[in-house]
Chains A and B, each alone.
Chain A
Amino acid sequence: MSTERPKKQISAQIDANLKRVFEEDLDQDLPDRFKDLLAQLKAQDGGSAAGGNK
C-alpha cells in the first residue's frame, strides 16, 4: 500500500526544506534589542573602540 519514493529524492527534498525553513527564519527582522545591545557594549568599551569619547 505504501508508495515508496526513491531515497535520493526524499533526501533532496529534505535538504530543500531545511534550506527553506532556515531562509524563512533568516528573513525575519532583527529585534531592536540587538542594536541597543551592540551600542551599549560599544559605549561600555569606551576608549578601545572607535569614537574616542574619553
Chain B
Amino acid sequence: MTAPNPRDEIVEHLKPLRAFALSLTRNSAIADDMVQDTVVKAWTNIDKFKAGTNMRAWLFTILRNTYYSNRRKAKREVADVDGVMTNGMAEKPAHDGHLQLRDFRRCFVQLSDEQREALLLVGASGFSYEEAAGMCGVAVGTIKSRANRGRKRLAELMQINEDEAMEMTDRVTMAVVSASGASAA
C-alpha cells in the first residue's frame, strides 16, 4: 500500500473552486483561467500542503491569492461580463425566484472584494470565521466585520433595487394609463 497522494484529491475540489472563482469574478473565462492557475500551483507545490489539513481551504487560499495578484496586474476590469449587468436592464421586475437571484447577483458584484470574499467563504461555502480568517491572512474580527458590512450593504442595494423596480413599474403603468386615457379622450 502506498500513501495516498494528496494530488489525487485536487479533482474533488474543482467544482467548489470554480464556483468560488465564478462568484469572485462573474466571468467564466477569467474564472477558468484562475482555476487552471490554481491547479498548476497546487500540483507543483503539493509539498507545501500539510497532510491532514483542509485541502479545500488550501486551494481556495491559492485561488484568492491568484485573484488578488491578477487584480493588481490588471487593475479594475469591469466586473460585468457574462452579461449579468447588461442583460439586467431589459428585464422587467418580477418576483419569481430566478429573477430575484439575478438581482441579488447584480447587487453582490457591487460589494468590495473583501466583503464579497468574506461572504462567499463564510456565508456561502460554509467555512468558519476562523478558517476564513486564516485563508485571508487577517484577524477573525476583521472577517466578521467584513461579512457584516457586506450583508448591510447588500440589504441596502437590494432595497434600492426594489425601489427602482417599483418606480419603473409605476412609470410604465402611468404611461399605459395616460396613453389609454388619451386615446379614450
**Residues on A close to B: CB < 8 A?**
2, 7, 10-11, 14-15, 17-22, 24-26, 28, 30-31, 33-34, 37-38, 41, 49-50
Contacts and interface: CB of A to CB of B under 8 A. Distances in A.
Given A14-B154, A25-B18, 14 more contacts: A7-B155, A15-B151, A17-B100, A18-B108, A18-B120, A20-B101, A21-B23, A22-B120, A24-B101, A25-B19, A28-B22, A34-B36, A49-B5, A49-B7
B23 to A, nearest CB: 6
B39 A21 contact: no
Contact of A30 (B10, B18, B158, B159): B18
B124 interface: yes
18 contacts: A10-B151, A10-B155, A10-B158, A14-B158, A17-B101, A18-B120, A18-B123, A22-B120, A24-B101, A25-B22, A28-B15, A33-B32, A33-B36, A38-B10, A41-B40, A49-B5, A49-B7, A50-B5
B56 interface: no
Contact of A26 (B19, B32, B35, B40): B19
For the residues of B in contact with A, the DSSP-based class is helix
A30 B2 CA distance: 29
Contacts, number: 72
A46 to B, nearest CB: 13
Nearest to A4: B159
B21 to A, nearest CB: 9
Across the A-B interface, the 4 shortest Cβ-Cβ residue pairs: A25-B19, A22-B124, A18-B123, A18-B124
Contact of A38 (B11, B19, B108): B11
B19 A22 contact: yes
